[in-house]
Structure formats: structure tokens, C-alpha cells
């Protein structure tokens, strides 16, 4: 028995990859508590066939994929704009909280994973703070997060597939398991090569995932490599699937293998099919695999992953802990997950000690920080050297926690204060959601500009004031000829995060009232942000001209024309200077 435990411990230590859910089930078949056949096939479902297939195996997403395939544009237009942000709060946020709850709620878990829960967390916090001030560090964090994310999703799909095989009592030979494993890995490798090939350009002409000074940077794998690697990986992926299923169907009926089939299909729908369509530039008119709409449709993949994660972590919590219902579990994960998202933003807002607004870079950095922390913890917390996780997910046995834990000795006020503070933060999220998704759009649509400004002021208390929204509000006030109110909004936008449009707009406002030197200062600030903007350069030249500084005006107009030969304001400005010189 001692020898078996030693082997089990070594196998768990050895497997250090992101296929974290495979750690539930032991990649080494020598683990005595994971041997195939240890669970009757009648117990192969966690909640039952319908919920398991829908939520755990991706059937719900497959249904959505079919809807999007036949009615993608209509589906995108059908639901209200606030639906995606709302689902992010209700589904994605709790899935982060499920990991935090798993590892931080109980003292024995916190102690067992102190290296990850304390030291690596502190290191990641330091990196996050640095990224707020150093753009290339933020770009590195974002790139790592977006590259790691599909690997994390892939690992979860593979692990759940293996779990269903184990629970169904299907003895999986090592070579067959390797082929199944390879099919999931190859789907990710395909995505990696496509993702990090030449940088894609959006329909607007701008790179994807650019926000302030933070952006996704592509490795730029040369065509000479990717043009060979991608077809080879694609063929290898199909071969791995074919071999896997040829072998699996010799072990069990398709009905018994249905969960695994759904998970293979889910992996293909999430990654392999869209990435192949992207590389070969063929989407057959289907919105759902059209890369131009990938950001929108990937949101639904995020929801599918989050539901799957909550589905399995709720089952583990139900079996292993003091269970008080799914509603309470979801509520706790929502509270702690939301706190994880809110606190970094509130501390590092420009109104605090930071330099980026949430909509211009900070939001992407918070997302990178939260997700990287999630990936690290998630890859660590299931590497238990006891058989607790296996007993719950494979054998459906409860685990008895040892008496006298730290939690039983802690002051009862401590958890009350923590959960109370988390509840206040969640209330703040609800207020911010209402203001940004409901009240502000309605106010702008009805011309209630004061109400929109008041909403933004309230959002500032929640670290969600928006430099872009302030510019939009200023633009609407300018159209309504409410110049002074517009200047206030533009200035607030600049205070949050200096922007070219806001500075240029303030320059225009000052120019209207004949404050040419003040206008010149504002235009110069705008030009400093984008020195190659010919239109702003022409405005700078116009301000010099109005101040009688002909030489400076001429130099700026000429420079603007070199940047944009067809710029009419620069041409007419030079013509005016020529007339003024001839009249002298």
C-alpha cells in the first residue's frame, strides 16, 4: 500500500502541464484508486445525462453554434446590448470565484498551497502594478493571457472527457489515451500557429485587442514555417481523432461514449474549426466562424467554459464540503469572483494611484491579472497528494474533513466582514452595470446629458469612469451648442487619460472664443499624442496663423501637406499666407 501511494505521489508531481482536470483522474493508471472499472457504469453521470451533456460536455454551445450558423446576423441584432456584459457577471465572474473559494476558504487548503496562494499571488500582483505603468509589461501580460486561455480551455475539455471514461468503467489503454490526448493538444497547436502568424487586421483597419498602450502582440511566425506547420498539424489532428475513435468504439458503444464525443465536438467548434476557417479564409458565409466576428462569438465560448467549470466545481463542493445548495454556492463564487475583478481596478484607477482608465488599458490588464492568477491556481490546486478529488469525481464518495481546522478556530467576525465587504463590492458592480448599460445609453438617446454626466460621476467612485464616454458626451453637448458643458466633459476625459480627440476639441472650443494661445496649447497637446496626424497639425498651423505667426504657420501647413497631400485645410491655409505676404 505504501508503495502504491509513493507511485501515486510521483505521478501527480510529474504531471505539471495545463491539462489540470486530467489531474483529477490521474494520468498514471497505476493509481489504485483510479483504476478503470472501479465505478459502476450506472454512476457515470454527475447530475444526470441531460444536465451533464448540456453543461459539462458542451451540448448547449453546440445548439447555439447551430443557431448562429443559420441566423448569425439576426442573433447578434436580436438580443439587447447589455446581455453579454450581464452574462459575464452572472457566469464568467463566478467561475473565477469557484477557484478562489476552493483554495482560500479553508485553512488547510491555504496552508497546503501557500506557495501559490501567497508567494506567486504576490509576485503576480507586483507584475500587474508594473504593467499599469510600463506598456510593454502590460502587453506581455495580455499576450500571455490570450495565448494561455485556449490551452486552459483545452485542458478542461480533455480532463472531463477522461473523467467520463473512468466513471463509465471503460478501461482505457495507454496508447488509446495518448491518441485522445494528442487530438486535444493538436487542436491547440493549430490555434497557436494560426494565432501567432501574421498579425490580423480588423475591418476597421486597426489590429485586434488594442487598448491604450496595451495590446496583443503576435509572435509573427514566418509564412515559410506556418504554411507548412498548419496543414501538417491540421492533418495530424484529423488522424488523431480518427485513430482515437476507431479504438474507442472497440471498447464501448457510441451511446456510452456520447459524453466524450460531445467534448471532442466542443473542442472542434471552439478552436479547430474557427481557426482553420480563419487560416484558409473560408467561412462559407457563416458568421459563427467568420474571424471578423470572432470577438463576439468567442464570448459565448467563454460562457460555455464558465458553465462547464461551475458544473464540475459545484459537484466537487457538494460532495466534499458542507453543502448548502447550488444557489448559495453560486452566490459565494459570484461575491468572491467579483471582488477579485473590482479591487485591482479601484486601487489603480487614475483617481487613485494608477495611470490608465478601465476603458483604455486598465480593463485589459485586470483581465490578464485575474485570468493568469486563475490559470496558476487552477493548475495547482488539483494536484492533491491525497485521493480526495479522485474519490469525489470518480467514485462519488464524500470526503470527511479533519476536525479542528483553522476555520473552526477563527473569529466568527472575520468571514462576516469579508463576505460583507464582498457584498458591497457586488452592489457597486450592479450600480456600474445599470449606469453604463442602461442609464447612460438612454440618457444620451433622449438628450438628457446632465443625467449621463451624473452617471459617469457615480461610476468614478467605482473606478469605471470612462475617458471615451466623456468624449462622447462632450461631442453630443457640442452638437447641442452647449459649449461650456462640453468643455467640462472633455477636460474630465483629459484628467482621466490624455487623448487626442479631447485635446483637439478643447482647442476648437477655445478657438471659437478667440483664445488662440490657449487653443494652440490644446492643439499641441493633441499633436504630441499623435505627431503624424495631419489634421491636428493643420489646426496648430491655423492657430499660429491667427496669432500672426506666419512662418510657424507655413511650416506646419507644409508639413501637414507632406503627410496628407490632399488636405484642403492645409492648402487653403498656405494660400491665405501667400495672400497676406503679398499684401504686406
Give me the DSSP letters along 146-205.
HHHHHHHHHHHHHHHHHHHHHHTT----HHHHHHHHHHHHHHHHHHHHHHTSSPPB-TTS
Give the pLDDT confidence score for residue 394 in this predicted structure.
59
Give the pLDDT confidence score for residue 491 in this predicted structure.
94
Among 413, 469, 417, 410, smallest CA distance to 444 is for 469
Query: In this model, does residue 35 exceed pLDDT 70?
Result: no
382 close to 160: Cβ distance less than 8 angstroms: no
Alpha helices in 252-354 (DSSP H): 258-267, 273-279, 294-320, 326-347
Residues 6+ apart with CB under 8 A from 171: 36, 37, 251
The number of beta carbons lying within 10 Å of the beta carbon of residue 180 is 25
Report the largest interatomic distance among the alpha carbons of the chain, rounded to a whole angstrom.
Answer: 105
68 close to 310: Cβ distance less than 8 angstroms: no
The mean pLDDT value for 348-358 works out to 80
Crossing angle of helices 467-479 and 483-496, in 10° steps, is 170
Q: Which 3 state secondary structure label does DSSP give 251? A: helix
Express as a percent the part of the chain with pLDDT over 70. 84
Query: In this model, does residue 383 exceed pLDDT 90?
Result: no
Give the pLDDT confidence score for residue 573 in this predicted structure.
86
Mean pLDDT of the chain: 84
Q: Which 3 state secondary structure label does DSSP give 487? A: helix
At 169, the pLDDT band (50, 70, 90 cuts) reads: confident
135 close to 214: Cβ distance less than 8 angstroms: yes
Residue 308, φ and ψ in degrees, nearest 5: -60, -40
For the stretch 311-344, pLDDT in tens is: 999 998 887 667 889 999 999 999 999 999 999 9
135 close to 213: Cβ distance less than 8 angstroms: yes
163 close to 246: Cβ distance less than 8 angstroms: no
Give the pLDDT confidence score for residue 388 in this predicted structure.
59
Give the pLDDT confidence score for residue 126 in this predicted structure.
95
Please name every residue paired with 207 in a beta bridge, in sequence order, or none if there are none.
201
DSSP 292: G
Higher pLDDT, 435 or 109: 435
For the stretch 562-575, pLDDT in tens is: 988 888 988 888 88
For the stretch 234-257, pLDDT in tens is: 999 999 999 999 999 999 999 999
Q: Which 3 state secondary structure label does DSSP give 378? A: helix
CA atoms within 13 A of residue 473's CA, in its CB half-sphere? 31
Can you tell me the distance from the alpha carbon of 67 to that of 391, in angstroms, rounded to the nearest whole number? Answer: 39
Please name every residue paired with 211 in a beta bridge, in sequence order, or none if there are none.
214
Residue 504: C-alpha distances to residues 404, 466, 499, 536, 538 (Å): 65, 18, 9, 7, 11
Residue 544, φ and ψ in degrees, nearest 5: -60, -40
Among 295, 429, 305, smallest CA distance to 358 is for 429
Can you tell me the distance from the alpha carbon of 32 to that of 34, in angstroms, rounded to the nearest whole number? Answer: 5
Q: Which 3 state secondary structure label does DSSP give 211? A: strand
For the stretch 7-22, pLDDT in tens is: 333 333 323 333 444 4
Please name every residue paired with 201 in a beta bridge, in sequence order, or none if there are none.
207
Can you tell me the distance from the alpha carbon of 521 to that of 531, in angstroms, rounded to the nearest whole number? Answer: 14
Residues 6+ apart with CB under 8 A from 144: 368, 372
Residue 329: C-alpha distances to residues 56, 102, 422, 432, 455 (Å): 17, 11, 15, 24, 32
Can you tell me the distance from the alpha carbon of 313 to that of 444, in angstroms, rounded to the nearest whole number? Answer: 42
- Rounded to the nearest angstrom, the gap between the alpha carbon of residue 102 and the centroid of all alpha carbons in its chain is 21
- Rounded to the nearest angstrom, the gap between the alpha carbon of residue 131 and the centroid of all alpha carbons in its chain is 17
Higher pLDDT, 147 or 41: 147
Residues 6+ apart with CB under 8 A from 108: 401, 402, 405, 406
Would you list the domain boundaries of the chain? 2-397
For residue 156, what is its C-alpha cell? 478542461
Residue 250, φ and ψ in degrees, nearest 5: -85, -15
- Lowest mean pLDDT across 259-273, 387-401, 439-453, 479-493: 387-401
Can you tell me the distance from the alpha carbon of 63 to that of 65, in angstroms, rounded to the nearest whole number? Answer: 5
Query: In this model, does residue 458 exceed pLDDT 50?
Result: yes
Higher pLDDT, 263 or 11: 263
Can you tell me the distance from the alpha carbon of 545 to that of 556, in angstroms, rounded to the nearest whole number? Answer: 10
Query: In this model, does residue 300 exceed pLDDT 90?
Result: yes
Amino acid at each position: 500500500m505504501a508503495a502504491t501511494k509513493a507511485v501515486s505521489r510521483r505521478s501527480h508531481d510529474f504531471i505539471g502541464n495545463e491539462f489540470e482536470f486530467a489531474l483529477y483522474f490521474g494520468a498514471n493508471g497505476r493509481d489504485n484508486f483510479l483504476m478503470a472499472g472501479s465505478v459502476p457504469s450506472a454512476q457515470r453521470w454527475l447530475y444526470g445525462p441531460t444536465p451533464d451533456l448540456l453543461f459539462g460536455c458542451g451540448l448547449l454551445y453546440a445548439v447555439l453554434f447551430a443557431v448562429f450558423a443559420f441566423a448569425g446576423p439576426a442573433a447578434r441584432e436580436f438580443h439587447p446590448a447589455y446581455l453579454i456584459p450581464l452574462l459575464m457577471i452572472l457566469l464568467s465572474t463566478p467561475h473565477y470565484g469557484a477557484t478562489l473559494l476552493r483554495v482560500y476558504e479553508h485553512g488547510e487548503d491555504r496552508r497546503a498551497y501557500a506557495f501559490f496562494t501567497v508567494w506567486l499571488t504576490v509576485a503576480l500582483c507586483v507584475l500587474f502594478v508594473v504593467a499599469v505603468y510600463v506598456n510593454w509589461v502590460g502587453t506581455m501580460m495580455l499576450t500571455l493571457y490570450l495565448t494561455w486561455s485556449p490551452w486552459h480551455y483545452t485542458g478542461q475539455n480533455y480532463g472531463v472527457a477522461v473523467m467520463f471514461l473512468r466513471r463509465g468503467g471503460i478501461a482505457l489503454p495507454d496508447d488509446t489515451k495518448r491518441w485522445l490526448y494528442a487530438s486535444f493538444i493538436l487542436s491547440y497547436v493549430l490555434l497557436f500557429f494560426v494565432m501567432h502568424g501574421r498579425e490580423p487586421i480588423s475591418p476597421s483597419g486597426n489590429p485586434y485587442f488594442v487598448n491604450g498602450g496595451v495590446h496583443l502582440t503576435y509572435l509573427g511566425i514566418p509564412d515559410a514555417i506556418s504554411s507548412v506547420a498548419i496543414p501538417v498539424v491540421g492533418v495530424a489532428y484529423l488522424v488523431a481523432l480518427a485513430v482515437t475513435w476507431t479504438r474507442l468504439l472497440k471498447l464501448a458503444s457510441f451511446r456510452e461514449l456520447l459524453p466524450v464525443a460531445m467534448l471532442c465536438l466542443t473542442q472542434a467548434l471552439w478552436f479547430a474549426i474557427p481557426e482553420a476557417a480563419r487560416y484558409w479564409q473560408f467561412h462559407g458565409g457563416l458568421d459563427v466562424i467568420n474571424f471578423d466576428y470572432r470577438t463576439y462569438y468567442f464570448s459565448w465560448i467563454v460562457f460555455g467554459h464558465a458553465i462547464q467549470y461551475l458544473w464540475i466545481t459545484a459537484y466537487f463542493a457538494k460532495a466534499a464540503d458542507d453543502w448548502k445548495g447550488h444557489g448559495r454556492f453560486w452566490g459565494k463564487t459570484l461575491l468572491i469572483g467579483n471582488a477579485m475583478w473590482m479591487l485591482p481596478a479601484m486601487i489603480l484607477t487614475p483617481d487613485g494611484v494608477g495611470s490608465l482608465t478601465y476603458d483604455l488599458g486598465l480593463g485589459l490588464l485586470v483581465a490578464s491579472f485575474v485570468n493568469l492568477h486563475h490559470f496558476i491556481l487552477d493548475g495547482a490546486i488539483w494536484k492533491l497528494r491525497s485521493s480526495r478529488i479522485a474519490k469525489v469525481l470518480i467514485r462519488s464518495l464524500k470526503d470527511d474533513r479533519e476536525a479542528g481546522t483553522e476555520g473552526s478556530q477563527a473569529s466568527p467576525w472575520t468571514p462576516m466582514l469579508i463576505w460583507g465587504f464582498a457584498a458591497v463590492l457586488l452592489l457597486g458592480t450592479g450600480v456600474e452595470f445599470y449606469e453604463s448599460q442602461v442609464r447612460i445609453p438612454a440618457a444620451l438617446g433622449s438628450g438628457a446629458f446632465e443625467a449621463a454626466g451624473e452617471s459617469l460621476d457615480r461610476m468614478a467612485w467605482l473606478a469605471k469612469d470612462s475617458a471615451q464616454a466623456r468624449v462622447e458626451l462632450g461631442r453630443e453637448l457640442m452638437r447641442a451648442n452647449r459649449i461650456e458643458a462640453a468643455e467640462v466633459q472633455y477636460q474630465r476625459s483629459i484628467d482621466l487619460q490624455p487623448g487626442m480627440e479631447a485635446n483637439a476639441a478643447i482647442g476648437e472650443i477655445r478657438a471659437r472664443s478667440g483664445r488662440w494661445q490657449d487653443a494652440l496649447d490644446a492643439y499641441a497637446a493633441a499633436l504630441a499624442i499623435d505627431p503624424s496626424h495631419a489634421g491636428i497639425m493643420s489646426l496648430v498651423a491655423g492657430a499660429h496663423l491667427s496669432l500672426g505667426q506666419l512662418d510657424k504657420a507655413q511650416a506646419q501647413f507644409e508639413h501637414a501637406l507632406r503627410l496628407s497631400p490632399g488636405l484642403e485645410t492645409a492648402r487653403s491655409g498656405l494660400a491665405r499666407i501667400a495672400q497676406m505676404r503679398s499684401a504686406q
